[in-house]
């Protein structure tokens, strides 16, 4: 880091703290030559992810789109907005960990369904029906049977007696 006053290349960090939004680190520095203090900000470099759509188009990753789909799937379900945000954050992190700059929309959909399936069956089926573009009731029933088959044997009987 060069001193903005004398251009000397060495300094010491006097104070370091996160900004209010926690999107950067603010550092107070002191030049070892002239003794003047200055402030620098350190930001995380955002890696732009591209989503490869089913038709081959590419567009920038947008977490708002994923959140909108999850909210739609969870509509009138007992799922808090915090849980929905957690799903989106988990999906985003899973994609970033892979460290590729491109990800297919189908991979994103599979990750969302993985989380929804363990959270709420109805939300999962709603999301899957749009994502997988069920062509007929038969495909829909196959998915429902898969969910019902994985339930505990007494769970279905308890639900009928309510």
Question: Is residue 101 classed as helix, strand or coil in its secondary structure?
Answer: coil
Residues 106 and 35 in one domain: no
Residues 142 and 117 in one domain: yes
Residues 67 and 19 in one domain: no
Residues 55 and 37 in one domain: no
Closest CA to 143 of 127, 131, 128, 123: 128
Closest CA to 71 of 56, 53, 83, 54: 83
Please list the pLDDT of the chain residue by residue as tens digits (162 residues): 899 999 999 999 999 998 776 768 999 999 999 999 999 988 776 667 889 998 999 999 898 999 999 999 999 999 998 899 989 888 888 888 876 788 999 899 989 988 998 898 888 888 887 776 666 666 667 766 776 676 544 444 444 443
Q: What is the pLDDT of residue 150?
A: 65
User: Whole domain around residue 77: which residue ranges?
Assistant: 50-153
**How many domains are there within the chain?**
2
Residues 60 and 26 in one domain: no
Q: What is the pLDDT of residue 27?
A: 94
Model pTM above 0.85: no
Residues 133 and 100 in one domain: yes
Q: Looking at 59-161, list the stretches that DSSP marks H as alpha helix, in order from N- to C-terminal side.
A: 63-73, 81-98, 105-119, 121-131, 137-150, 153-160
Does a structural domain hold residue 94? yes
Does a structural domain hold residue 3? no
Residues 20 and 73 in one domain: no
């Amino acid at each position: 880091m060069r001193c903005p006053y004398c251009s000397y290349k060495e300094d010491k960090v006097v104070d370091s703290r996160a900004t209010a939004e926690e999107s950067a680190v603010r550092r107070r520095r002191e030049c070892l030559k002239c003794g003047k203090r200055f402030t620098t900000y350190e930001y995380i470099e955002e890696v732009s992810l591209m989503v490869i759509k089913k038709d081959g188009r590419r567009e920038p990753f947008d977490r708002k789109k994923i959140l909108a789909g999850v909210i739609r799937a969870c509509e009138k379900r007992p799922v808090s907005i915090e849980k929905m945000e957690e799903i989106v954050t988990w999906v985003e992190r899973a994609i970033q960990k892979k460290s590729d700059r491109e990800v297919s929309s189908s991979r994103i959909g599979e990750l969302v369904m993985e989380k929804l399936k363990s959270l709420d069956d109805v939300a999962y089926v709603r999301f899957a029906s749009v994502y997988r573009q069920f062509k007929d009731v038969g495909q829909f029933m196959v998915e429902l049977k898969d969910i019902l088959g994985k339930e505990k044997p007494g769970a279905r009987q308890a639900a009928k007696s309510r």
